[in-house]
A and B are shown apart, each in its own frame.
Chain A
Amino acid sequence: QTVVTQEPSLSVSPGGTVTLTCGLDSGSVSTSHHPNWYQQTPGQSPRTLIYSTHVRSSGVPDRFSGSILGNKAALTITGAQADDESDYYCVLYMNFGWVFGGGTRLTVL
């Protein structure tokens, strides 16, 4: 059973920078996992922010960026805004398909 790990919750001040991470319980995340990042607000369907590690989806502001940091995938939000307060999910590609992480609830305060 593949487990993808994320911080359950994080907070950031308006205008601040925060990094969310996405790891594997056994092993390292690499670009071959093609990490995707999704944003979900309550009652809404998820929206793609980042795919293939660092590619911003259409219409996504450049304050969102994706990378590999050490042995994890990372989503960095620079200049956080109030409407960035959401749940964020990473998903990793495996040889059988995809595995979502448990999500990070981001609070902007």
Chain B
Amino acid sequence: QITLNESGPTLVKPTQTLTLTCTFSGFSLSSSGVGVGWIRQPPGKALEWLALIYWDNDKRYSPSLKSRLTITKDTPKNQVVLTMTDMDPVDTATYYCAHRKGTAMGQFDFWGQGTLVTVSS
């Protein structure tokens, strides 16, 4: 059974750096074709893909946020960490991590419950 759980601060101040951790079980990030991605959703708004890391350490970033994002993995700990620099109130959102089955042809088939991050002074 695949599960993912996001953790991190619920409140950050503008200009601070956000660090979110996705802790997962039921799969290994050393298995071929597997990835973990981050997707966010501002309150009442649409989903937005942020970043993804594959089993082979290939990393993909949203072009509009690439300069602010870093994604890393700790395979033995079953964790993926996303950092986002220079946080702004417009970054207030629920942040989800999701298991990616397959590369281009695949799907985000398992999602965490999401963690709400508010950016406010």
- A residues within 8 Å of B by Cβ? 1, 34, 36, 38, 40, 45-48, 51-52, 57-58, 89, 91, 93, 96-103
Contact = CB atoms under 8 A, between A and B. Distances in A.
B15 to A, nearest CB: 24
A85 B79 CA distance: 34
B113 A97 contact: no
B74 interface: no
Interface of B is mostly: strand
A46 B104 contact: no
B48 interface: yes
Interface residues of B, number: 24
A38 B109 contact: no
B53 to A, nearest CB: 11
Contact of A46 (B60, B62, B63, B111): B111
Contact of A34 (B63, B64, B104, B113): B104
Interface of B: 37, 39, 46-49, 51-52, 60-64, 96, 104-109, 111-114
Given A89-B46, A97-B52, A98-B49, A36 B107 contact: yes
Given A97-B49, A101-B46, A1 B64 contact: yes
A48 B109 contact: yes
A93 B106 CA distance: 10
A57 B49 contact: no
B35 to A, nearest CB: 10
B107 A48 contact: yes
A47 B49 CA distance: 15
Nearest to B37: A98
Given A36-B108, A45-B112, A93-B104, A99 B46 contact: no
B109 A100 contact: no
Contacts of B52: 97-98
Q: Which of A1, A45, A46, A93 has the most CB of B within 10 A?
A: A45
